[in-house]
Structure 1
Amino acid sequence: MKKRTFLKLSSALMATPIISPLAHLVPGEKLKNWAGNYTYSTDRLYSAKSIEQVKEIVKKYNKLKVLGTRHCFNGIADSTNNFISLREMDKVLSLNAAAHTVTVDASMRYGQLAPYLDSKGYALHNLASLPHISIAGACATATHGSGVKNGNLSTAVAALEIVTANGEVRTLSRAKDGDTFRAAVVNLGALGVVTKVTLNLQPTFKMRQYVYENLPLDQVKAHFDAIMSGGYSVSLFTDWQKKRINEVWIKERVEAGSKQAAKPTYFGATLATKNLHPIAELSAENCTEQMGVAGPWYERLPHFKMGFTPSSGKELQSEYFVPRKNAVEAILAVERLRDHISPHLMISELRTIDADDFWMSTAYKQPSLAIHFTWKQDWASVSKVLPMIEKELEPFRARPHWGKLFTLSASKLQSRYEKLPDFKKLVKEYDPQGKFRNAFLDSTIYGS
């Protein structure tokens, strides 16, 4: 398919509203992830509407995985045996004004929660590019937004409730449970069924965003930290061609009384004169408002509006995290592969994430740069490019996103998580018979 035809097709399809994750399923229908690249290995799906039903299902089956909003691109949430869905457990359970926290059913999506919080005068510290992912799934895989001072989404977690393999309900909190809590938040689905999450809140705020075009790569080399610190959240989009960053997205908090206009240039990039899509040829209709128009935090932090998918969905995704101190070297290492990457790429995004203390987090103990790739849905080609990227990023001990595509060996992956042995001990305590183990965990966490 020619590029122009592909872009027109993507633009037309991306206006389709999001379909509820479990809508329109019929007995025997094959379950797929949202992008359609991954087919799950069973259609045995059991729905729980209460904690008692969760406990009953967990105790009944020897092998089980939670099926969430299906936004992962690999088999991290797959099962060859049984799925449990908590889709109907998606309510706000309590708002604690004194503690500045909210407790929700873990299957609630950020797109559901954010407007409610804003209406009560509260906000979360950050959101991912897509607002329709579940809170439990995002936290379990260390999903993130951007911002040099912003940790990934799991850093907002103050407490969580888990149903373990024997049906026991355990509640863990940062205040009381120390290392167990730090191990359990980014849990990869290995510890049990997360049923409740308590999140830290802050006062609500307004935001605006500006987009700049054609940032010279030389400016990134010379001023990376300053560029990425130019807003509350900054994202760089590139196709790795022409020694430039295609677009710079800067999201700013609007302070009371602030009327500061955007500068016409930003480190050599030029202020856009209209709303843009990260892929410039596509319509920005479904992107969040730009051009400095102020709006609620939850309508600016994501790149895409709450009600629509950002593209046709026919895509693959990979992402690698490197220490921020090595950001420029890592960017240049990938840029050297531009002619191998670009034929298969839709767009790349560069974001920063602050360090955290969660054992299995991609940002554990290191402020990070995330190098993200949105690929055309051609795994045969992408699978040949990923080892090349991983080889270039080898000096930086890159950690791949848990829910996206990578080819890194189990031994290399495991070597990049110093607390992995302790995490496996906790998994053994919570799930001694491997009820929540699957092929992905067997190969990545337990493989050699």
Structure 2
Amino acid sequence: MKRKTFIQLGGTFAAASALSPITAWAQAPRLQNWAGNVTYSTGNVQYPKSVAEVQSLVKKYPKLKTLGTRHCFNTIADSKDDLLSTRDLNKVVAIDRKAKIVTVEAGIKYGELAPYLHQQGFALPNLASLPHISVGGSITTATHGSGVKNGNLATSVSGLEVVVADGSVVHFSKQTDASKLNSVVVGLGAIGVITKVTLDIIPTFQIRQRVFTNMPLAQVKQNFDKIVSAGYSVSLFTNWASDTVSEVWIKSRLDEKDHTEAEFYGAKAATKNLHPVIAQSAEKCTDQMGVPGVWYERLPHFKMGFTPSTGKELQSEFFIPMKHAVEAISAISKLGKQISPHLFITEIRTIAADELWMSPCYHQQSITIHFTWKPETEAVMRLLPIIEKELAPYNAKPHWGKIFTIAPKALASRYEKLAGFKKVVAQYDPKGKFRNTFLSHNIYGV
């Protein structure tokens, strides 16, 4: 990959000057992110196995960034200095059945936590489309699933343990100070190293999912609210190549309506399991055709034991107020001829509003328009400003862990709590130990 191309994947073009020369990267073999589009700027990676080790490392290094499962598609977790991976902080610490909470180490993956919770009779309200991601990394970037009544994954957090810049351990709790917790949960890696997370849990449940194909886009525009409210979690897939949505995935609890009809708003019921990219094998996807299954075997689109999605890809995603859903979808559909040749698939989802300061859904019921791109970096980087311009009238916010080019000034205008967030960061990291090029540009570059 050309050096210029790598720099652009950091989220914005302007980050180039702050990256260290390639010759400085030869200290040790360097990691890549999950999709291979980002190579981290240092090979100095530490793998602590305890909170005490994290504290020691935080005290030792003047600059440090935390890595989770390396699923971000930009450089939000990058550092030219030193990296700390939470890979080995991956255990369940405790479960409180009476309080309905579970405390876990931040590096545990949802696919590892979910079976344990089910065995204990509990569940999480929702999961992302793949279970391979860590709890700590997911909440830090406001990663989400779908459902008009379901918040992003960070909304399940009721407590955090964080090692801050001076090496001390700070606890945040919904019970003691909900406002402070809300200010740091979606922390973008700026507050410190998350070592433990306490999550609210609910009784375990089962889900069935059914898929409908080739829904006319006109039906989506006319009946959007009814369509996305048809199940516990609903996703729409399209590649914008025609005036149809290629697949509608409806995930319903067993106490909700089971969509057994042959037709759903003009779409036909699928006759076999499907992959969101219809030409690909459904082997890696969770079971469909209305077969009931445990929540963690249906809420994600992809199974834990397989490489999720398409593998080598790029991703971008934009959050739009749900009241502007049809307008935003219409705006993107007009770009179909430009977008489609470079796209694997787009997924449209809904997320409930929340109280988390740096969440794209702060006080905003949202839809997201998610682009899973072919690994064609130059084409994607040309298209993103065009897409962002079309979505600008709706104050679209990017997913913090995916590729975007929205200017810092525009980001600041769309996050009403940004100034307050920076004050909180200054309290726990006054010298910018956890600040990197991504944060310097996108959060502090106004």
> Does TM-score exceed 0.5, indicating one fold?
yes
Aligned-pair CA distance for 1:29: 1.3
Aligned-pair CA distance for 1:354: 0.2
Aligned-pair CA distance for 1:242: 1.8
The residue that corresponds to 2:18 in the other structure is: none
Secondary structure in structure 1 of the residue aligned to 2:367: strand
Aligned-pair CA distance for 1:312: 4.6
Secondary structure in structure 1 of the residue aligned to 2:283: coil
Letter in 2 for 1:271: A
Secondary structure in structure 2 of the residue aligned to 1:393: helix
TM-score by length of 2: 0.93
Letter in 1 for 2:439: L
Give CA-to-partner distance per residue, 1:349-394, whole Å, 9 cap, x none: 0000000010000111100000000001111000010011000001
Conserved in 1, the CA contact under 8 Å of 2:251 and 2:299?
yes
Structure 1 residue 314 corresponds to structure 2 residue 312: yes
CA distance in 1, matches of 2:367, 2:95: 33
The residue that corresponds to 1:92 in the other structure is: 92
Structure 1 residue 419 corresponds to structure 2 residue 417: yes
CA distance in 1, matches of 2:312, 2:54: 33
Give CA-to-partner distance per residue, 1:242-272, whole Å, 9 cap, x none: 21100000001013xx895611111110000
Aligned-pair CA distance for 1:179: 2.1
The residue that corresponds to 1:77 in the other structure is: 77
The residue that corresponds to 1:101 in the other structure is: 101
Letter in 2 for 1:62: P
Number of residue pairs aligned between Structure 1 and Structure 2: 421
Letter in 2 for 1:103: T
Conserved in 1, the CA contact under 8 Å of 2:67 and 2:137?
no
Structure 1 residue 34 corresponds to structure 2 residue 34: yes
Aligned-pair CA distance for 1:90: 0.6
CA distance in 1, matches of 2:282, 2:158: 36
Aligned-pair CA distance for 1:306: 1.0
Alignment of 1:104-143 (within 5 A): 104-143=104-143
CA distance in 2, matches of 1:56, 1:355: 38
Give CA-to-partner distance per residue, 1:20-60, whole Å, 9 cap, x none: xxxxxx98212110100001000001121111111000001
The residue that corresponds to 1:278 in the other structure is: 276
Secondary structure in structure 2 of the residue aligned to 1:102: strand
The residue that corresponds to 1:15 in the other structure is: none
Letter in 1 for 2:202: Q
The residue that corresponds to 1:305 in the other structure is: 303
Aligned-pair CA distance for 1:174: 1.3
Letter in 1 for 2:65: K
CA distance in 2, matches of 1:408, 1:260: 41
Give CA-to-partner distance per residue, 1:269-327, whole Å, 9 cap, x none: 00000000001111101100000001100000000001111245210000000000000
CA distance in 2, matches of 1:27, 1:46: 14
CA distance in 1, matches of 2:246, 2:370: 14
Secondary structure in structure 1 of the residue aligned to 2:284: coil
Letter in 2 for 1:391: K
The residue that corresponds to 1:337 in the other structure is: 335
Aligned-pair CA distance for 1:178: 2.8
Alignment of 1:11-26 (within 5 A): none
CA distance in 2, matches of 1:88, 1:135: 13
Secondary structure in structure 1 of the residue aligned to 2:211: strand
The residue that corresponds to 1:253 in the other structure is: 253
Letter in 1 for 2:90: D
Match of 1:364 among 362, 372, 378: 362
Flag as ranges the 4+ runs of structure 1 deviating above 2 A: 258-261
CA distance in 1, matches of 2:388, 2:433: 32
Listed as ranges, the gaps of 5+ residues in structure 1 are 1-25
The residue that corresponds to 1:269 in the other structure is: 267
The residue that corresponds to 1:189 in the other structure is: 189
Structure 1 residue 377 corresponds to structure 2 residue 388: no
Conserved in 1, the CA contact under 8 Å of 2:252 and 2:258?
no
Match of 2:349 among 331, 334, 351: 351
The residue that corresponds to 1:8 in the other structure is: none
The residue that corresponds to 2:285 in the other structure is: 287
Conserved in 1, the CA contact under 8 Å of 2:27 and 2:42?
no
CA distance in 1, matches of 2:258, 2:38: 46
**Cα RMSD, aligned residues only:** 1.2
Secondary structure in structure 1 of the residue aligned to 2:282: coil
Conserved in 1, the CA contact under 8 Å of 2:106 and 2:136?
yes
TM-score by length of 1: 0.93
Letter in 1 for 2:290: G
The residue that corresponds to 2:151 in the other structure is: 151
Percent identity between the two aligned chains: 58
Letter in 2 for 1:204: T
